[in-house]
Amino acid sequence: MGVKDRKTLTMIMIHNSLTGSKEELKPIEPGHVRMYVCGITVYDYCHIGHARAQLVFDVVARYLRWRGYRVTYVRNITDVDDKIIRRAGESGESIDALTERFIRLMHEDFDALGLVRPDLEPRATEHMDQIVGMIGALIESGHAYVAGNGDVYYQVASFPAYGRLSGKRPEELRVGARVEVGEAKRDPLDFALWKSAKPGEPSWDSPWGQGRPGWHIECSAMSTAALGNHFDIHGGGMDLKFPHHENEIAQSCGATHEAFVNIWMHNGFVQVADEKMSKSLGNFFTIREVLQGHRAEVVRYFVLSRHYRSPMNFTEDELVKARAALDGLYTALRGVEAGADPDEIALERFRQVMDDDFNTAEGFAVLQGTASDLNKARNAGDDGRAAALAAAILEIGGVLGLLQEDPEAWFKRVSVEAGKASLRVHGHPTTVEVGPDGLSPEQIEARIEARNDARRNKDWAEADRIREELAAAGVILEDASGKTDWRRG
Ligand SMILES: [Zn+2]
């Protein structure tokens, strides 16, 4: 049975944050899944919390495609926002220059992590017509009002289902809430759809005067513009559930009078050393910092080894374990020619666990089990079975975005872990010697050549000395059938 047939086999169950239970994925348009994921506010480097969210939805898109679905994957870019305006003011850069720079850096980081590019990447500043149109519809339908100062607010009390996604009740939220100085809203729960222009800030025309959109409205306007009023999956980090996604529902349902999203998916938090990651605690890592010390594939393996809804504790130890696990998988694949027909039992096991709410943690167990079967088949001299198992590992690896490097290159590449990887925890640098300082493959080959010369001359002391020297540099030699192979230890 081929990949194409897989979507008809059984159903895919996904935990829906809106109902708190697992539900069958039933695309509104059969065979086509439309998915919107909240993207980045581009004013700083992306951090590992962003990396986790984007890796999770990357695998959702890859898996659904592997199951034969067409996926339209949309991820927005927030390119106008209070934080962006403040940062541009601090740096003296124009807002455009700042956002363009961080969009470029975001793409570099996401490409380095091997994320598939979304099909559409709408930007708020390019969707002002849709944003203004949706705010107009909300005013017309009585869900929004124009305040005296030209701000437009969503009237939360006008939407009885408010709080359903987050499980928060408006009357409880109202306790202790108050209208801040400078705000012109009627109810502390009301939130800004449009902020009237302030001197020195970017602004756009609207029927309510010059101004700029609030953050929440852009996702309602852009998701609807890209995917229609009603679509299948909306994703984001757990921290976006309230108020951002709650507000999106109120806006979209209020403006269109239609259903909005069928399944809401939220990934768990990232903690560092058991604490919430935050700049003020000094345990805040950018993707760039982490990738200086660890290969992207190692980071990906670690992030996906946890179920996406579980909290994740980001530690150096776990990255080292992920590296070891990947080394084991690449060792299994080493020297085996993958066959044309992957082992269907392995693929079927993988499908079963992933159909159950994208359980990548169990998917990794399948991968490791298949690698262990492959080692056994190879030791037993069963080349046919080894070829089929290797093909299954590569296919599963492709769905997870892993194991696509040539195993020889994986072991011989001058490791980015070479030298010192230092991550700061609580402001203290934690330096970990993760690997040897890199000799280039050419240098290593030259040393092996010199050692072979020494052996031919029966200069065993020199041959041993070279072996030890390479071992000290983390290079392990393997002599077999008259040849010397090497790998990095
Ligand atoms: Zn959003």
Tell me how far the alpha carbon of residue 251 lies from the centroid of ligand 1, in angstroms. 12
| Ligand 1: centre distance to CA 268 (Å) | 16
Overall size of the chain counted in residues: 489
Separation between Cα atoms, residue 61 and residue 33, nearest integer Å:
9
Give 126-184 pLDDT, tens digit per residue: 999 999 999 999 999 999 999 999 999 999 999 999 999 999 999 888 888 888 877 78
How many angstroms is it from 162 CA to the middle of ligand 1? 17
Q: Residue 476 in contact with residue 484, Cβ under 8 Å?
A: no
Burial tier of 92 (Cβ tally within 10 Å: 0-12, 13-18, 19+)? exposed
pLDDT at res. 308: 98
| Residue 243 DSSP one-character state | I
Checking if the pLDDT of 389 tops 60, the result is yes
Place of tokens 């339209």: 72
Q: How is domain 3-267 classified at the CATH fold level?
A: Rossmann fold (3.40.50)
For residue 69, the one-letter residue type is Y
**Domain residue ranges of the chain, discontinuous segments joined by +:** 3-267, 271-431, 436-488
Element (H, E) at 319: helix 316-333
Amino acid at position 462, single letter: E
Whether 488 and 435 have beta carbons less than 8 Å apart is answered as: yes
- Average pLDDT of every residue of the chain: 90
**How confident is the model at residue 446, as a pLDDT?**
84
Pairing assessment for the beta strands 32-41 and 231-237 based on DSSP bridges? parallel
3-267 and 271-431: identical CATH topology: no
Q: Percent of the chain having pLDDT more than 70?
A: 93
340, 390 Cβ separation under 8 angstroms? no
CATH 3.40.50.1110, domain 271-431, yes or no: no
Task: Name every residue whose Cβ is closer than 8 Å to that of residue 263 and which is 6 or more positions away in sequence.
Answer: 14, 16, 18, 23, 25, 232, 233, 234
Q: DSSP string of 320-369? A: HHHHHHHHHHHHHHTT----SS--HHHHHHHHHHHHBT--HHHHHHHHHH
- pLDDT for 24-69, tens place per residue? 999 999 999 999 999 999 999 999 999 999 999 999 999 999 999 9
- Of 282 and 435, which is predicted with more confidence? 282
pLDDT of residue 403: 97
How far does residue 391's CA lie from ligand 1's centre (Å)? Answer: 38
- For residue 20, the 8-state DSSP code is T
Residue 168 Cα to ligand 1 middle (Å) = 19
Ligand 1 centre distance from Cα of residue 250 (Å) = 13
Q: What are phi and psi of 424, to 5 degrees?
A: -95, 130
The DSSP bridge partners found for residue 421 are: 432
- The span from the CA of 387 to the CA of 171, in Å, is 62
Q: Cβ distance 309 to 268 under 8 Å?
A: yes
Pick 153 or 462 by higher pLDDT.
153
Q: How far does residue 76's CA lie from ligand 1's centre (Å)?
A: 7
Find the 261 Cα to ligand 1 centroid distance in Å. Answer: 13
In the reported structure, the alpha carbon of residue 199 is separated from the centroid of ligand 1 by a whole-number distance in angstroms of 27
CA of residue 316 to ligand 1 center, whole Å: 31
pLDDT at 105: 97
d(CA 306, CA 319): 12
Confidence (pTM): 0.86
Question: What digits encode the pLDDT tens for the residues 341-372?
Answer: 999 999 999 999 999 999 999 999 999 999 99
Chain centroid to CA 139: how far? 36
Read off the amino acid at residue 213: P
The angle that helices 360-379 and 383-400 make with each other, rounded to 10 degrees, is 160
Query: What's the gap in Å between 202 CA and the centre of ligand 1?
Result: 20
In angstroms, the CA 435 to CA 456 distance is: 31
Sign of the four-CA dihedral 302, 305, 307, 311: negative
Distance of CA 49 to the CA centre of its chain: 8
Strand ranges, E, within 180-282: 191-196, 211-213, 231-237, 261-267, 270-272, 275-276
